[in-house]
């Protein structure tokens, strides 16, 4: 593949939901976008097609982010195609919800390994590449408001996202000044996953009432993507180690 001399972004879980919106936004800003996915090739291919249709530049990089060898190979592929990685968005994540007393060790491991260990593995490999190529890099971790407030039946997910917030601060301290690290914390956001999970076709009014979101609506994936774009911009060049909550005011911390 011909190397294209412009900035490159790797978006894990970049084929659907919030990850898709971020991939599309960064491509529209002129980034080469490497779209990572694990199992949903159909969504990833659709995102790639949309970017290509709009004359953007992108590639697909399937990999399990919790597998260190697959992560190494993924980053090598992106480097070979585009000559480095300037931006990493750690968005890949899964839910396996169950009451605490019924949760299995396997269900704990699978969620924590994907959401937290995966971000660690990809950040480590990409940071090594950024430093080797003397790049001014950016890492953005996509966390969740439940990593701040917690909730029932999701101790594995909440713990993984809380860990991601602390990891953001650690990396921001260690990787500065050449790599900035920040976290974006979406609240209740309208994606295919949330529509299905919370039965929003019939239960949206109830969910909004229960959550008491001051703006009285769900967020849009495009709004999260716009925030990511701002953090990557020159206007945000002095921002490091911070968490940005985008949730309509549900959590005011």
Q: Is the dihedral of CA 58, 60, 63, 65 positive or negative?
A: positive
Task: Confirm if 54 and 28 have CB atoms less than 8 A apart.
Answer: yes
Mean pLDDT, all residues of the chain: 96
Residue keyed to tokens 């480097």: 79
Identify the pLDDT of residue 253. 73
DSSP letter for 114, please: I
Instruction: Go through the domains of the chain in sequence order and give each one's CATH number.
Output: 8-191+220-244 (3.40.50.720)
Structure tokens of 121? Answer: 């593995």
In the chain, the largest separation of any two C-alpha atoms, in whole Å, equals 53
145-154 residue pLDDT tens = 999 999 999 9
User: Catalytic amino acids?
Assistant: 157
pLDDT at 208 over 60: yes
Share above pLDDT 90 across residues of the chain, in percent, rounded to a whole number: 93
pLDDT in tens, 58-100: 999 999 999 999 999 999 999 999 999 999 999 999 999 999 9
Strands 179-186 and 32-37: unpaired
DSSP SS3 for 247: coil
């Amino acid at each position: 593949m011909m190397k294209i001399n412009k900035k490159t972004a790797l978006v894990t879980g970049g084929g659907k939901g919030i990850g898709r919106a971020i991939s599309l936004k960064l491509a529209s800003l002129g980034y080469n976008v490497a779209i990572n996915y694990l199992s949903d090739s159909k969504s990833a291919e659709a995102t790639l097609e949309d970017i290509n249709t709009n004359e953007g530049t992108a590639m697909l990089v399937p990999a399990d982010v919790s597998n260190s060898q697959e992560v190494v190979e993924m980053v090598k592929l992106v480097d070979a195609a585009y000559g480095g990685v300037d931006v990493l968005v750690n968005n890949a994540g899964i839910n396996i919800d169950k009451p605490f007393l019924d949760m299995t060790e396997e269900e704990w491991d699978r969620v924590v390994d994907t959401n937290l260990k995966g971000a660690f593995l990809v950040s480590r490999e990409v940071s090594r590449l950024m430093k080797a190529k003397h790049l001014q890099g950016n890492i953005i971790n996509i966390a969740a408001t439940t990593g701040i407030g917690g909730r029932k039946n999701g101790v594995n997910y909440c713990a993984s996202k809380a860990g991601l917030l602390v990891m953001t601060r650690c990396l921001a301290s260690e990787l500065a000044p050449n790599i900035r690290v920040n976290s974006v914390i979406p609240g209740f956001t309208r994606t295919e996953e949330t529509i299905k999970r919370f039965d929003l076709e019939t239960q949206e009014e109830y969910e909004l009432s229960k959550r008491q979101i001051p703006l009285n609506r769900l967020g849009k994936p495009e709004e999260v993507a716009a925030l990511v774009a701002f953090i990557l911009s020159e206007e945000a060049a002095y921002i490091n180690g911070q968490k940005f909550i985008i949730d309509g005011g549900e959590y005011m911390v």
